Chain A
Amino acid sequence: MADGLQILRRNRPGSKAKEFCRWPDEPFEEMDSTLAVQQFIQQTIRRDPSNLEAILKMPEAQDEGVWKYEHLRQFCMELNGLAVKLQAECKPETCTQMTATEQWIFLCAAHKTPKECPAIDYTRHTLDGAACLLNSNKYFPSRVSIKESSVAKLGSVCRRVYRIFSHAYFHHRSIFDAFEKETHLCKRFTYFVTKYSIISKEILILPKLDDETPVGESEA
């Protein structure tokens, strides 16, 4: 009962990995799901992950809070990929604290009293905490309208998430570069937080990244 005239955008058990979500784009106006914004964002990323402008071009009449919220969800989700890579290399023995440059030691806010977690734990706890907050029924009960007070919560998530990028950049550069080459995630994230002024520029400590970032030398 599949195709015919109508396109069914679904993944069928037994299909190939390269077919996954490879269906024709659906115009945003025609998406009637409560998850339309997520669908739209993912669809645009899939088309070209490096096209930051297209990915972050908000459709007209879109609620900006929801737009930012859905993008942040997408960032945290894709950051799982970086965390997986870091798990193999970022050990509590070598990265005992969450640092980027030696200027700051970041405390992990996932605990009742902020804790000096090793970098890998900081990464995992931050992502777990973000998943928790962004799926909280209290702050984000809906994915089509979000209270202003809840939108304000996105900033702190963004700041912590950025530290994951910066730790990887300064301490696990080869991982960072490989990941970035594949996903353009840090670039997109920087573009995002700058465009919507979510994080102040002073905090964005990574040098400007471009596609020709050399791969190699994992050193601070």
Chain B
Amino acid sequence: MDDSSVSHHNGGQVGSQIGVSVNNKQNDEPSQSVQYSIPGILHFIQHEWARFELERSQWEVDRAEFKARIAFLEGERKGQENLKNDLVRRIKMLEYALKQERAKFHKLKYGVELQQGDVRPPPEEPTSEPEHAERAQWKQGRQLIKQYLQEIGYTDTILDVRSNRVRALLGLNNEEIENPNYRNYDKQQHDRCDYSMNHMVRKYDYGGKEARKSTGGGGYNEEGLSVQETAAVFANFEFLTNQEMDMDEIDDLDAKQSHHICSKKGEDLDLEAEEVLNELSLITEREADGGGQGDEYPVGGSAGGAGAGAAAGAGAGEADEEPLALGELAQLTVSNEPEAYDVASANKESFRKTWNAKYTLRSHFDGVRALAFHPTEAALVTASEDHTLKLWNLQRTVPAKKSAGLDVEPLYTFRAHTAPVLCLAMGAPRSEECFSGGLDGTIRVWNLPPPTADPYDPYDPAVQGAVLRDHTDAVWSLAAAHGRLLSASGDGTVRLWAPRAARPLLATLRADESPSAPAPAAADFADAAARAAVAYRDGSLLLYDLETGQAVLRAGCEAGATRVRAHPTLPLLVTAHEDRHIRFWDAVSGRCAHAMVAHLDAVTGLALDPNGLFLLSGSHDCSVRLWNLDTKTCVQEITAHRKKFDESILDVAFHPLRPYIASAGADGLAKVFV
């Protein structure tokens, strides 16, 4: 009992400079002796002054950090907007090219306009202008294509659906996609198609750029595409290059696009376009870790573009793609642009700083089982074994009189559960709601009080919303997305809810009907909430289609799982296990892409940052670890909580918008790091 405790705030601010592990050990001294002497007092004053200076500088550092963060986020937003516009533009171009290919195929097959195929400007001379005579023929061809496009009903809606999907894939999509067309597709195929789209975009882009070089003139030299590389590309895209004249058309389309989507056009757009491509190629590379088959893609040294392979393979039905071409293209993209990693590195930059404990949330009487940040505000909700949930506003701190440390008092205490609260999920932005699941088997909907609420306001029963009672045992995991809720319970089922509906239970998912079936430990929405990833206590991992309620993928290992998270943009699932491992799964093939010993004890908490670049994990070994998802390396380790029995950290979280991370512990505390 030499370790005297929980007083993080007395020593806390100094400690926070050094890190939490120090922080925890620092508290033994204060207020042990009460003998005063002049040197003692002087020393004390000196010490205090130094401390205040430190705190002040810490504040200044924080302020600078926040400013930088704001600037960065603003930049990022702008970038993403441009990216989005550009993607839409490119996808339209891509679709167009695809149709051309088909048109050509059609022509070839039925012998119409067969002579067109003979017109073939040599790829190594892309700058040559088409002859006038040829132009006439091309015009004819164009007419035909137009006709064909109309015939097949090549409508904007299709384009929109696809662009939405791609944006969703890139995590740019905030609004819900509610397009009926989308619903009609077989999801899985659709998915694959999306991945292949990435490649198509890239693939096409190079063809397109070259072609535009020929028609529209220079401006692309800075890209440094060597003649050989160009030739290689063209060798693979003869269709595109053949019909160079059609690039006029595309340019038209392009211009039209620019007209109503993006008023900005020109070189900087192309630079952005490159960024888009780079990001896409980056995705492919990461995906590479998640895939299962080929090594034919020597992409940037990573484990061999299996994801790309799978995607390309799957995409073959949609378009005549050659994996080899993709490989070369991928290589091209990466090798050409050293700034390929700009987007990522900018994000990394914001995380490169060391996270320090800033707020300690103390008010729960027992272990904190779960926490969730407010979707936008600097606020969070914690759920505890003391049967309550508490709402905290990090911007309404109570400066503790003596230590200038930041104590946060809860804004509101939610009481309704009749047993420990085990899990939490936050509703969508602006919905101001959260959901909690408890050992009592209930799921409760809560209307969050405003951040200005006073903890000692009169009791407002309207805070309590609906109660979902279908589970017959403890509810251990909740995930919310698009107004729906996914819960995993000790009763062996995973349930899908529309929590505000009159009949809230939408579906019940069971691994199998046998009574000995393992219970789900955790569930998360995956694939833009079209599927549910469920990790079971026996280590199996199932992916359910939420339309049909059927398991579409079975994977897993022997070690009991505790958590599962779906990557926000990639078909990647991450699971935490009792055997100290974190495992990464390809959500398409079900292959275990990577497994690593992540902690010294069972891994109990997992969170992915909103950009999908970092992973946060917590464990009963008392530490929180931050991982770079790309390299799978630990970026920071923080010792955050003490043990109660053999439990320590029970949950971790990222703020969806702001630079906060948090941990919840069996010691009854929650900590927020900045």
Per-position 1/0 for A10-40, Cβ under 8 A of B: 1111111100100100100000011110110
Which of A1, A120, A124 makes the CB contact (< 8 A) with B580?
A1
Is the CB of B595 closer than 8 A to any CB of chain A? no
Per-position 1/0 for A43-71, Cβ under 8 A of B: 00000000000000000000000000000
Whether A14 contacts B476 by the Cβ 8 Å rule is yes
Residues of B within 8 A of A33 (CB): 642-645
Per-position 1/0 for B427-459, Cβ under 8 A of A: 000000000000111000000000000011011
Is the CB of A83 closer than 8 A to any CB of chain B? yes
Whether A135 contacts B363 by the Cβ 8 Å rule is yes
Is the CB of A5 closer than 8 A to any CB of chain B? no
Is the CB of B536 closer than 8 A to any CB of chain A? yes
Whether B400 contacts A15 by the Cβ 8 Å rule is no
Is the CB of A180 closer than 8 A to any CB of chain B? no
Complex-state Cα separation, A114 to B537, whole angstroms: 51
Whether B458 contacts A81 by the Cβ 8 Å rule is no
Whether A34 contacts B520 by the Cβ 8 Å rule is no
Whether A10 contacts B620 by the Cβ 8 Å rule is yes
Which of B10, B387, B420, B490 makes the CB contact (< 8 A) with A16?
B490
Whether A110 contacts B456 by the Cβ 8 Å rule is yes
Whether A77 contacts B366 by the Cβ 8 Å rule is yes
Given contacts A92-B458, A124-B459, contact A144 B387 (CB under 8 A): no
Whether A2 contacts B578 by the Cβ 8 Å rule is yes
CB distance from A164 to the nearest CB of B (A): 13
Per-position 1/0 for B1-37, Cβ under 8 A of A: 1011111111000000000000000010011000000
Residues of A within 8 A of B407 (CB): 137
Is the CB of A156 closer than 8 A to any CB of chain B? no
CB distance from A10 to the nearest CB of B (A): 5
Q: Which of A125-133, A187-195, A201-209 contacts B (4 or more CB under 8 A)?
A: A125-133
CB distance from A68 to the nearest CB of B (A): 15
Residues of B within 8 A of A92 (CB): 458-459
Is the CB of A105 closer than 8 A to any CB of chain B? no
A26 (CB) vs chain B CBs: closest residue: B645
A33 (CB) vs chain B CBs: closest residue: B643
Residues of B within 8 A of A138 (CB): 400-402
Complex-state Cα separation, A144 to B6, whole angstroms: 9
CB distance from B407 to the nearest CB of A (A): 6
Complex-state Cα separation, A144 to B5, whole angstroms: 7
CB distance from A4 to the nearest CB of B (A): 12
Which of A13, A39, A110 makes the CB contact (< 8 A) with B477?
A13
Which of A20, A77, A129, A137 makes the CB contact (< 8 A) with B7?
A137
Number of A-B contacts (CB under 8 A): 179
Q: Which of B149-157, B245-253, B334-342, B558-566 contacts A (4 or more CB under 8 A)?
A: B558-566
CB distance from A31 to the nearest CB of B (A): 8
Complex-state Cα separation, A173 to B464, whole angstroms: 24
CB distance from A11 to the nearest CB of B (A): 7
Is the CB of A174 closer than 8 A to any CB of chain B? no
Complex-state Cα separation, A77 to B477, whole angstroms: 23
Which of A12, A23, A39, A143 makes the CB contact (< 8 A) with B578?
A12
Per-position 1/0 for B470-481, Cβ under 8 A of A: 000110110000
CB distance from B231 to the nearest CB of A (A): 56
A42 (CB) vs chain B CBs: closest residue: B366
Whether A84 contacts B417 by the Cβ 8 Å rule is yes
Max chain B Cβ within 10 angstroms of own Cβ: one of A36, A83, A84, A131: A131
Is the CB of B88 closer than 8 A to any CB of chain A? no
Given contacts A20-B474, A135-B363, contact A77 B6 (CB under 8 A): no
Given contacts A13-B477, A20-B420, A87-B415, contact A131 B490 (CB under 8 A): no
B28 (CB) vs chain A CBs: closest residue: A142
Which of B3, B10, B419 makes the CB contact (< 8 A) with A137?
B10
Is the CB of A185 closer than 8 A to any CB of chain B? no
Per-position 1/0 for A136-172, Cβ under 8 A of B: 0110111111010000000000000000000000000
CB distance from B349 to the nearest CB of A (A): 34
Residues of B within 8 A of A23 (CB): 645
Whether A83 contacts B415 by the Cβ 8 Å rule is yes
Given contacts A77-B366, A87-B461, A131-B413, contact A13 B522 (CB under 8 A): yes
Whether B620 contacts A17 by the Cβ 8 Å rule is no
CB distance from B458 to the nearest CB of A (A): 5
Which of B416, B456, B668 makes the CB contact (< 8 A) with A87?
B416
**Size class of the contact patch on chain B:** 35 or more
Is the CB of B388 closer than 8 A to any CB of chain A? yes
Is the CB of B403 closer than 8 A to any CB of chain A? yes
CB distance from B536 to the nearest CB of A (A): 7
Residues of A within 8 A of B415 (CB): 80, 83-84, 87, 124
Is the CB of B51 closer than 8 A to any CB of chain A? no
Which of B363, B562, B642 makes the CB contact (< 8 A) with A34?
B642
Whether A17 contacts B416 by the Cβ 8 Å rule is no
Complex-state Cα separation, A137 to B416, whole angstroms: 27
Complex-state Cα separation, A144 to B4, whole angstroms: 6
Per-position 1/0 for B360-389, Cβ under 8 A of A: 101111100000000000000000001110
Complex-state Cα separation, A92 to B476, whole angstroms: 35
CB distance from B11 to the nearest CB of A (A): 10
Residues of A within 8 A of B568 (CB): none
CB distance from B359 to the nearest CB of A (A): 12
Per-position 1/0 for A85-118, Cβ under 8 A of B: 0010000100000000000000010110000011
Is the CB of A121 closer than 8 A to any CB of chain B? yes
Residues of B within 8 A of A117 (CB): 458
Per-position 1/0 for B553-591, Cβ under 8 A of A: 000000110110000000000000011100000000000
Which of A17, A77, A135 makes the CB contact (< 8 A) with B387?
A77
Is the CB of B409 closer than 8 A to any CB of chain A? yes
Whether B409 contacts A132 by the Cβ 8 Å rule is yes
B477 (CB) vs chain A CBs: closest residue: A13
CB distance from A178 to the nearest CB of B (A): 11
Complex-state Cα separation, A8 to B403, whole angstroms: 38
Q: Enumerate the 7 nearest inter-chain pairs by beta-carbon distance, A residue then B residue, closest first.
A: A141-B7, A142-B5, A77-B365, A14-B521, A9-B645, A13-B521, A14-B519
Further pairs besides A12-B537, A13-B422, A128-B456: 5, Cβ < 8 Å: A20-B419, A76-B365, A80-B388, A137-B10, A141-B9
30 A-B residue pairings within 8 Å (CB atoms): A1-B579, A2-B560, A2-B578, A8-B646, A13-B477, A13-B562, A13-B563, A13-B604, A14-B519, A15-B476, A17-B473, A34-B667, A35-B643, A38-B644, A77-B387, A80-B387, A80-B388, A84-B418, A110-B456, A120-B459, A121-B459, A125-B456, A131-B363, A131-B413, A137-B403, A137-B407, A138-B402, A141-B7, A143-B5, A144-B5
Q: Which A residues lie at the B interface, using CB under 8 A? A: 1-2, 8-17, 20, 23, 26, 33-36, 38-39, 73-74, 76-77, 80-81, 83-84, 87, 92, 108, 110-111, 117-118, 120-121, 124-125, 127-129, 131-132, 134-135, 137-138, 140-145, 147
